[in-house]
């Protein structure tokens, strides 16, 4: 019997390409079954005519809005996960999917944070904004075929406000399932509220050690170790292809 691969869509930003590679590797490293990891690249979606929103100067990443195309990109069928690229997975994504399967029917599952950061600046001097349901959309497991998610057509994702999308206003509250906080562990916030919990997925939402001025955040050593592993694997691949290292 063939096990269907879990589909994971990861936000990709040209300014933080290494984050995607680290996130992807950590997902695959801990997966107990087949997983398909797909980057959500805004430039490709624009070229395909799937995303036409005018550039938003307040958008902190290139996938601020494109994440909501996940059900469309998954063909409106089955379960599909979205996560930001600044995630480091330490557990099997299959465990998260199993939690959702036990909590059906829902349109979407996420960690329902009450995140109220005190700092005004994050990630490479970008503005830290505060709004209801902040960071709920940084990890979303969609039931892509749920009728409520049909609202996330490419045309609507390109046109709707950030508040409508990130606050999940296309859904009734009962359509949104909750998963434990360790599946979207906000560095610098979750640590304070749950100091004895070991995170399953670390989210460097304020910024991470890929930035020069964020070298000493919690779990920086784990992300840097993963980045070194990505670099070593890329080097081995180049050697296997007979290419000199960069």
Query: Which CATH number covers residue 161?
Result: 3.90.550
Neighbouring C-beta atoms of residue 204, cutoff 10 Å: 27
Query: Which phi and psi angles does 208 have, rounded to 5°?
Result: -135, 180
pLDDT-derived band at 241 (thresholds 50, 70, 90) equals low
Question: How large a percentage of the chain has pLDDT more than 70?
Answer: 88
User: Is residue 1 included in any domain, yes or no?
Assistant: no
How many independent structural domains does the chain possess? 1
Q: Is residue 83 part of a domain?
A: yes
Assess contact for 75 and 4: CB atoms under 8 A.
Answer: no
> Whole-number mean pLDDT of the chain?
91
Q: Range of 33's domain?
A: 6-240
> Please, which pLDDT band fits residue 193 given cuts at 50, 70 and 90?
confident
Give the pLDDT confidence score for residue 213 in this predicted structure: 86
Instruction: Give mean pLDDT, residues 180-209.
Output: 92
User: Can you give the pLDDT at residue 83?
Assistant: 98
Radius of gyration (C-alpha) of the chain in whole angstroms: 18
Residue 115 within any structural domain of the chain:
yes
Closest C-alpha among 106, 81, 105 to residue 91 = 81
- Per-residue confidence (pLDDT) for residue 118, from 0 to 100: 58
Give CA–CA dist 82/59, Å, rounded: 18
Q: What would the DSSP string read from start to end of 87-130?
A: EEE-S-HHHHHHHHHTT-S-SEEE---------SEETTTEE---
Per residue in 15-74, pLDDT (tens digit) is: 999 999 999 999 999 999 999 999 999 999 999 999 999 988 888 899 999 999 999 999
pLDDT score for 234: 82
Q: What was the pLDDT predicted at 120?
A: 47
Q: Which pLDDT band, with edges at 50, 70 and 90, does 154 fall under?
A: very high
- Which of residues 14 and 132 earns the better pLDDT score? 14
**Closest to 219 (Cα-Cα) out of 26, 29, 74:** 26
Please give the pLDDT value at position 246: 44
> How many CB atoms within 10 Å of residue 178?
13
pTM: 0.90
- Give the Cα separation of 173 and 117 in Å (integer): 24
Whether 215 shows a pLDDT value over 60: the answer reads yes
Identify the H or E element spanning 43: helix 42-47
The predicted-structure confidence for 82-129, as pLDDT tens digits, reads as follows 999 999 999 999 999 999 999 989 999 999 998 776 554 555 555 556
Q: Is residue 245 one of the residues assigned to a domain?
A: no
**Is residue 246 one of the residues assigned to a domain?**
no
- 24 occurs within a structural domain: yes
Question: What pairs with residue 6 in β-bridges?
Answer: 35
Question: Is 66 domain-assigned?
Answer: yes
The whole-angstrom separation of Cα 44 and Cα 118 is 35
Six-digit token pair at 87?
């995630």
Give residue for tokens 């100091």: 195
């Amino acid at each position: 019997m063939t096990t269907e691969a879990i589909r994971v869509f990861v936000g990709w930003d040209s300014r933080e390409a290494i984050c995607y590679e680290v996130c992807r590797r950590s997902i695959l490293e801990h997966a107990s079954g087949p997983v398909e990891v797909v980057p959500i690249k805004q430039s490709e979606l624009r070229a395909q005519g799937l995303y036409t929103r005018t550039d938003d100067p307040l958008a902190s990443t290139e996938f601020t809005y494109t994440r909501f195309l996940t059900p469309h990109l998954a063909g409106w069928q089955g379960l599909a996960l979205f996560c930001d690229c600044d995630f480091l997975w330490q557990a099997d994504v299959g465990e998260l999917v199993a939690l959702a399967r036990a909590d059906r029917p829902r349109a979407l599952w996420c960690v329902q944070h009450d995140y109220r950061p005190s700092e005004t600046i994050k990630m490479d001097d970008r503005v830290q904004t505060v709004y209801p349901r902040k960071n709920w959309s940084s990890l979303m497991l969609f039931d892509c075929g749920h009728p409520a998610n049909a609202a996330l057509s490419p045309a609507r994702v390109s046109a709707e406000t950030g508040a409508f999308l990130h606050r999940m206003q296309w859904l009734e509250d009962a359509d949104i399932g909750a998963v434990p906080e360790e599946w979207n562990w906000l560095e610098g916030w979750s640590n304070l509220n749950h100091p004895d919990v070991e995170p399953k997925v670390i989210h460097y939402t304020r910024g991470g050690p890929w930035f020069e001025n964020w070298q000493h955040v919690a779990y920086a050593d784990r992300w840097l170790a993963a980045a070194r592993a990505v670099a070593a694997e890329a080097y081995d691949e180049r050697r296997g292809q007979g290419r000199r290292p960069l």
